[in-house]
Amino acid sequence: MTMLKEGRPTAPEPVKEAHMAPATATGNRALMLEEALIFEIGSVDTTGVDFPDAPKVESRLGGLARTDAIGLPGLSEQETVRHYTRLSRQNYAIDLGLFPLGSCTMKHNPRLNEKVARMPGFADIHPLQPQSTVQGALGVINELAFWLIDLTGMHGVAMTPKAGAHGELCGLLCIRAALEARGDARQVVLVPESAHGTNPATAAFCGYQVENIPATPEGRVDLAALEARLGPDVAAVMITNPNTCGLFERDMKKIADAVHAAGAFVYCDGANFNAIVGRVRPGDLGVDAMHINLHKTFSTPHGGGGPGSGPVVLSEALSPFGPLPYTARMADGTIHLIEEENVGEEMPQSFGRMSAFHGQMGMFTRALTYILSHGADGLRQVAEDAVLNANYVLRSLEDVLDAPFGASGPCMHEALFSDKGLAEGFTTLDIAKGLIDEGFHPMTMYFPLVVHGAMLVEPTETESKAALDQFILALRSLAERARAGDEALKGAPYHAPRRRLDETLAARKPVLTWSEPELAQAAE
Residues that bind ligand PLP (CB under 6 A): 103, 163-165, 196, 198, 240, 244, 269, 271-272, 293, 308, 310
Find the shortest distance in angstroms from Cβ 192 to ligand PLP. Answer: 11
Q: Cβ–Cβ contacts within 10 Å for residue 7, how many? A: 14
Extract the runs of DSSP E, i.e. beta strands, from 366-435.
415-417
Give CA–CA dist 330/148, Å, rounded: 20
Find the shortest distance in angstroms from Cβ 400 to ligand PLP. Answer: 26
Shorter beta-carbon distance to ligand PLP: residue 165 or 337: 165
Q: In what order do the strands lie in the sheet with 289-291?
A: 156-158, 312-314, 289-291, 265-269, 234-240, 188-192, 209-213
Are the beta carbons of 178 and 378 closer than 8 angstroms? no
Find the shortest distance in angstroms from Cβ 131 to ligand PLP. Answer: 29
Shorter beta-carbon distance to ligand PLP: residue 240 or 396: 240
Find the shortest distance in angstroms from Cβ 277 to ligand PLP. Answer: 15
Beta bridge partners of 190: 211, 237
Angle at 389 between CA 372 and CA 109, to 5 degrees: 40
Shorter beta-carbon distance to ligand PLP: residue 171 or 310: 310
Shorter beta-carbon distance to ligand PLP: residue 174 or 472: 174
Three-state DSSP class for residue 71: coil
Burial of residue 183 (CB within 10 Å: 0-12, 13-18, 19+) is exposed
Find the shortest distance in angstroms from Cβ 422 to ligand PLP. Answer: 26
Shorter beta-carbon distance to ligand PLP: residue 165 or 276: 165
Angle at 383 between CA 240 and CA 429, to 5 degrees: 60
Q: Which residues contact 128 (CB under 8 A, 6 or more apart)?
A: none
Give CA–CA dist 147/145, Å, rounded: 5
Shorter beta-carbon distance to ligand PLP: residue 272 or 350: 272
Q: Cβ–Cβ contacts within 10 Å for residue 39, how many? A: 16
Q: Which residues contact 509 (CB under 8 A, 6 or more apart)?
A: none
Cis? peptide before 448, omega within 30° of 0 = yes
Shorter beta-carbon distance to ligand PLP: residue 402 or 458: 458
Q: Cβ–Cβ contacts within 10 Å for residue 69, how many? A: 8
Find the shortest distance in angstroms from Cβ 195 to ligand PLP. Answer: 7
In the bound complex, which residue of the shown chain has the CB atom lying closest to ligand PLP?
164
Find the shortest distance in angstroms from Cβ 242 to ligand PLP. Answer: 9
Find the shortest distance in angstroms from Cβ 168 to ligand PLP. Answer: 7
Shorter beta-carbon distance to ligand PLP: residue 241 or 396: 241
